[in-house]
Each structure stands twice: as structure tokens, then as C-alpha cells.
């Protein structure tokens, strides 16, 4: 009830949620009954969870922040939603987001603008801005988001919470509305590394409904959070940390760089050796990402035709039904991405754009592999600056895209990454949080969680 009270009290100002469940108390009572009757309850018993609106829930609308899916209620729960419910979690509602995950501020939602709880005149980041703001304002305990090019990590950084992007394939995407299928991953937000790790454990593992989900065994991510490592004065002794040189150069806010340098010193105090490493293809990742993500989205979003899902307009012939449903249902950013994507894929341009971007993707993957052969983890800022003012990037999409430079490469390589608070940018009246990104080798979430837990 404390959380619900805070949720209702803060929501008019923050607007993290597109939908709030009206059965939370009933579900909590059912859990109390189970506990009283000594029935088995799961590891998320009574945990209040916010779910990004592009993750399907059968008892709540799922719009992906788009008018084209207004009032749409899927006939099934996404696998991750089923997982958290089985573990005793209670879904409190659906969180606001940039339409279909396309954006970095959550201003691209067709419904409302979410405010950053640290400074209400600023954005929470995006596209999972609602999920990040909700945890930051303690409207729920943990939340689920999706990360195609940074949409869990950048809002975690802007809102001063922990954000975890798992390895591609660690978590089932069944029931996640596809943006760019080769990059999309469902991720976790929490107020601590332990919270995010426990949530990750609940949702990880193979799913027969998602052929790209991995059959690898899922380690018990939670077990290390009770370890006594903290008692040791050098608990991370021997751990090799590579600070990515290209992420602390020109164009990055100086206070962000000094927070990351401070975090690197803290890691050294904990016993790590920190050296600078170069990822030569780093800056190529951004244009390659925007070509690949737009191309995949132009294909994925073709399913919204006004017939199968959501709103349908009245039209006298089929082509105008498609055209008018899409013209009225999609917002301008989504339309721009579809146009960019179809252009990049079209005959005559394919070799120059899509194919080259795929080649860059291979380069990026190779350069991460080389750097992670020499290092246990890599570190960088999670974003080149702290949270933007609402409206600041609205008419400047290129500068908004540039803000994704720290995160997109990780998706191109499919690697896991953890973001956690590591400092502040002093903005006269208010301090704004800065997050550090820790990147690991594929399927090494356990190592990231251990380092993050000891670091925080």
C-alpha cells in the first residue's frame, strides 16, 4: 500500500504509466492468503513490477506508445510477464515509452510526456523512460523495459537507477512488439544491482516460442548478492577493466568524463587493474545502427495495417484502408524511420547502406571480441550527457540520435551491459545523475552483476 500511495501521489506530475492496474490490492491479498496457508510462493513474491507498454499483457492494454494500437489488448502474456507472475510478482501497470521504442526521450509517446523525477523539466531518457522514472520515483520496485540501441541503459543513467541489458538471446522476446528483431532485448530496472539481477533471473532462459532464445543454462544470478566479498578490502583483485578511450573524448560532457574517471579509480581501489583500450570502429556503430534498426523496423511495422491489430479506419477500398490507418496511426518519428528503412533496403541502395552497415556490424563485433579477450569487462559512460530538457531535442533528431553513441555498439555485438549510478552533473539548482556502463562478454551477466554489486 505504501508503494500504491506513492504511485497515486506522484503520478500526476511524473506520468510514468499509460495504464495502472486496478487489481493490485486483490492480487496482494491473494499472495497474503498463500503465505498464511504455507503455499509455495516464488522469489518475486509481492514485488510490484512496471512493464513497458510494448510488452504484451493479456489483462491490460498494450499500445507500444502508439495510436495505431490504441486500446489494443493482446490475447496472451509475453513470456517474461508469465515468468514474473509465476514468481509471485504483481504487475502494477504499463509504462510510457517512445512510440515502438523509437526515440531517446519518451517524448515520442503518442499519449503523454514523462518527466524525470530528479528534475521535472527534464526528460527521463528513452525509449523505456516510463519504466526508469517509475523505479526512480519508487512508484514500483522494479520494472521491465526493452533495449534495441540503449533504451534500458540510457534512461537508467538519466534517472539514477540500475539498468541491465542482457545478452541477445538470454531472455525470450515472445510477446515483445518487434522494433529491430536482431537487436531487441528485454531488460530490467531496479534501485540496486541485486534487484535488477533477481528480476533477470526470473525472466531468463530458453522459450520454445522464441527460436532465438538461448538453451544455455541460467546461472543463479541471485546467489552472489549474499556473498561476503565486501569484507575483503580488495574484493575485485585481478579483474581486468578496459576503459574505452573513444567514449571519453571530445563531444562528451566534462563532468560525465570526470564521473567515469572517478568510477575507474574506485574500481582500482577495489583491486581491479584499469587500462584504456581502443575500439577503432566505435564511431561507425552509430550510423550502422540507425540503418539496420530502421531497415528491420520498416519490415516489422508492416504488420500494422489497420486490419489485424488496433484501430481500423472506414475506407471504401483496401489500399486506402491500409494507407489511412497507417497515416493516422503512426507518429512522425516512426514514419521517418520506416522511410529511412525502406530506402536503405531498396534495390540500388541496398549495397551502399544495408550491406555496408552489416559489414560494420561485423567489425564492431570483432573489435569487442578483441578488447574482451584482454579484459574481463569494459567500461564507458552510459550517455554523453545527463538528462536533456523537455523539448530540447524535439526538432533535432540527429542530435538525439548522436546521444545513443555509448549504447548502440553493444546491441550490434549482442553483448550484456549493466548501467549504474556513479556520479552527478551539477546543474546549478539540482544534481543530475550520471551512469557508468559495464560491458561483458556474451552470457557473462553474472560477472557484471558481481562487479556492479561490489561497486555500488
Residues known to be catalytic: 52, 127, 151
**Which of 7, 55, 102, 418 contacts ligand GLN by CB under 6 A?**
102
Burial of 405-427, coded b for 16+ CB within 10 Å and e otherwise, reads bbbbbbbbbbbbbbbbbbbbbee
Contact string (CB under 6 A) for ligand GLN, positions 315-334, x = contact: --------------------
Q: Does 301 bind ligand GLN (CB under 6 A)?
A: no
What is the per-residue binding string for ligand GLN in 119-138, x denoting contact by CB under 6 A? --------x-----------
300 binds ligand GLN (CB under 6 A): no
Sheet holding 377-381, edge to edge: 17-20, 90-95, 48-52, 142-147, 185-190, 162-165, 417-427, 430-439, 377-381, 240-244, 273-277
CA–CA gap between residue 364 and residue 356 (Å, rounded): 12
- Distance, CA of 230 to CA of 140 (rounded, Å): 28
Interacting residue with ligand GLN among 129, 150, 166, 169 (CB under 6 A):
150
**Interface residues for ligand GLN in 239-298 (CB under 6 A)?**
293
Q: How far is the CB of 35 from ligand GLN (least distance, A)?
A: 37
Site string for ligand GLN, 39-78 (x = CB under 6 A): ----------------------------------------
Whether the CB-CB separation of 106 and 96 falls below 8 Å is answered with: yes
The three grid cell numbers given for residue 434, joined into one nine-digit string: 550520471
CB of 102 to ligand GLN, least distance (A): 5
- Asked if residue 72 lies in contact with residue 309, where contact means CB atoms within 8 angstroms, the answer is yes
CB closer to ligand GLN out of 298 and 325: 298
Min. distance of Cβ 365 from ligand GLN in angstroms? 18
Residue 349 has a CB neighbour count (10 Å cut-off) of 13
Q: Are 163 and 125 in contact (CB under 8 A)?
A: no
Supply the minimum distance, in Å, between the C-beta of residue 127 and ligand GLN.
4
Task: Tell the smallest beta-carbon distance from residue 297 to ligand GLN (Å).
Answer: 8
- From the number of C-beta atoms within 10 Å of its C-beta (0-12, 13-18, 19+), residue 388 rates as buried
Closer of 88 and 155 to ligand GLN (Cβ):
155
Distance CA 361, CA 143 (A): 30
Q: Which residue, 146 or 214, is less far from ligand GLN as judged by CB?
A: 146
Site for ligand GLN in 396-455 (CB under 6 A): 404
- The single residue listed with the C-alpha cell 498494450 is 62
| Nearest approach, Cβ of residue 128 and ligand GLN (Å) | 7
Task: Give the residue from 151, 139, 138 showing the smallest Cα distance to 186.
Answer: 151
From candidates 82, 88, 89, 101, binder to ligand GLN by CB under 6 A: 101
Distance CA 149, CA 410 (A): 8
The least distance separating ligand GLN from the CB of residue 337, rounded to whole angstroms, comes to: 8
Nearest to ligand GLN of 235, 341 (CB atom): 341
Candidate residues 106, 148, 380, 409; the one interacting with ligand GLN per rule CB under 6 A: 148
Q: Which is nearer to ligand GLN, 179 or 455 (CB)?
A: 179
Residues 170-199 that bind ligand GLN (CB under 6 A): 179
Nearer to ligand GLN, 148 or 437 (CB): 148
Work out how close the CB of 103 gets to ligand GLN at its nearest, in angstroms, rounded to a whole number.
5
Region of 49 please: left (phi>0), alpha (psi -120 to 50) or beta: beta
Nearer to ligand GLN, 147 or 446 (CB): 147
Which residues, at least 6 apart from 211, have a Cβ–Cβ distance to it below 8 Å?
Answer: none
382 contacts 157 by C-beta, under 8 angstroms: yes
99 binds ligand GLN (CB under 6 A): no
Q: What angle do CA 59, 65, 66 make, to 5 degrees?
A: 105
Does 95 help bind ligand GLN (rule: CB under 6 A)?
Answer: no
Using the minimum distance from each CB to ligand GLN, give the nearer residue, 92 or 185: 185
The count of chain residues that interact with ligand GLN, using the rule CB under 6 A, is 14
Per CB under 6 A, 104 contacts ligand GLN = yes
**Which residue lies nearest ligand GLN, judged by its C-beta?**
151
CB 386 within 8 A of CB 317: no
CA dist., res. 171 & res. 47, Å (int): 20
Residues of this chain that interact with ligand GLN (CB under 6 A) are 101-104, 127, 146-151, 179, 293, 404
Amino acid at each position: 500500500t505504501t508503494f500504491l500511495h506513492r504511485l497515486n501521489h506522484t503520478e500526476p506530475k511524473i506520468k510514468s504509466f499509460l495504464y495502472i492496474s486496478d487489481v493490485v490490492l486483490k492480487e496482494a491479498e491473494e499472495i497474503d492468503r498463500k503465505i498464511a496457508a504455507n503455499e509455495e510462493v516464488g522469489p518475486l513474491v509481492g514485488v510490484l513490477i512496471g512493464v513497458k507498454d510494448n510488452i504484451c499483457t493479456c489483462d491490460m492494454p498494450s499500445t507500444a506508445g502508439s495510436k495505431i494500437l490504441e486500446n489494443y489488448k493482446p490475447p496472451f502474456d509475453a513470456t517474461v510477464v508469465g515468468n514474473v507472475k509465476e514468481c509471485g510478482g504483481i504487475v502494477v501497470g504499463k509504462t510510457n515509452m517512445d512510440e515502438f521504442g523509437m526515440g531517446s526521450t519518451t517524448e515520442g509517446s503518442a499519449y503523454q510526456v514523462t518527466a524525470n523525477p530528479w528534475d521535472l523539466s527534464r526528460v527521463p531518457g528513452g525509449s523505456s523512460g516510463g519504466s526508469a522514472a517509475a523505479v526512480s520515483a519508487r512508484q514500483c520496485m522494479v520494472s521491465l523495459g526493452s533495449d534495441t540501441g540503449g533504451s534500458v541503459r540510457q534512461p537508467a543513467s538519466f534517472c539514477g537507477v540500475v539498468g541491465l541489458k542482457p545478452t541477445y538471446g538470454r531472455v525470450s522476446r515472445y510477446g515483445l512488439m518487434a522494433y529491430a528483431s536482431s537487436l531487441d532485448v528485454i531488460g530490467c530496472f531496479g534501485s540496486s544491482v541485486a534487484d535488477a539481477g533477481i528480476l533477470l533471473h526470473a525472466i531468463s532462459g530458453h522459450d520454445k516460442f522464441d527460436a532465438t532464445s538461448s538453451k544455455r543454462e541460467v546461472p543463479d544470478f541471485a546467489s552472489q548478492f549474499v556473498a561476503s566479498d565486501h569484507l575483503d578490502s580488495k574484493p575485485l583483485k585481478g579483474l581486468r577493466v578496459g576503459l574505452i578511450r573513444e567514449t571519453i573524448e571530445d563531444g562528451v560532457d566534462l563532468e560525465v568524463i570526470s564521473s567515469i574517471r572517478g568510477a575507474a579509480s574506485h574500481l582500482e581501489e577495489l583491486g581491479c587493474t584499469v587500462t584504456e583500450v581502443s575500439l577503432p570502429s566505435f564511431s561507425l556503430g552509430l550510423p550502422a545502427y540507425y540503418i539496420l534498426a530502421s531497415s528491420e523496423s520498416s519490415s516489422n511495422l508492416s504488420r500494422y495495417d489497420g486490419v489485424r491489430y488496433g484501430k481500423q479506419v472506414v475506407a471504401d477500398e483496401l489500399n486506402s484502408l491500409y494507407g489511412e490507418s497507417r497515416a493516422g496511426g503512426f507518429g512522425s518519428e516512426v514514419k521517418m524511420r520506416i522511410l529511412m528503412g525502406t530506402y536503405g533496403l531498396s534495390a540500388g541502395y541496398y549495397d551502399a547502406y544495408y550491406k555496408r552497415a552489416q559489414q560494420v556490424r561485423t567489425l564492431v563485433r570483432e573489435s569487442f571480441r578483441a578488447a574482451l579477450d584482454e579484459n574481463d569487462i569494459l567500461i564507458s559512460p552510459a550517455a554523453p550527457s545527463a538528462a536533456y530538457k523537455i523539448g530540447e531535442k524535439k526538432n533535432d533528431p540527429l542530435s538525439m540520435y548522436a546521444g545513443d553513441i555509448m549504447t548502440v555498439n553493444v546491441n550490434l555485438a549482442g553483448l550484456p551491459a549493466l548501467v549504474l549510478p556513479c556520479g552527478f552533473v551539477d546543474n546549478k539548482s539540482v544534481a543530475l545523475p550520471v551512469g557508468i556502463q559495464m560491458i561483458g562478454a556474451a552470457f557473462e551477466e553474472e560477472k557484471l552483476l558481481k562487479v556492479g554489486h561490489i561497486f555500488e
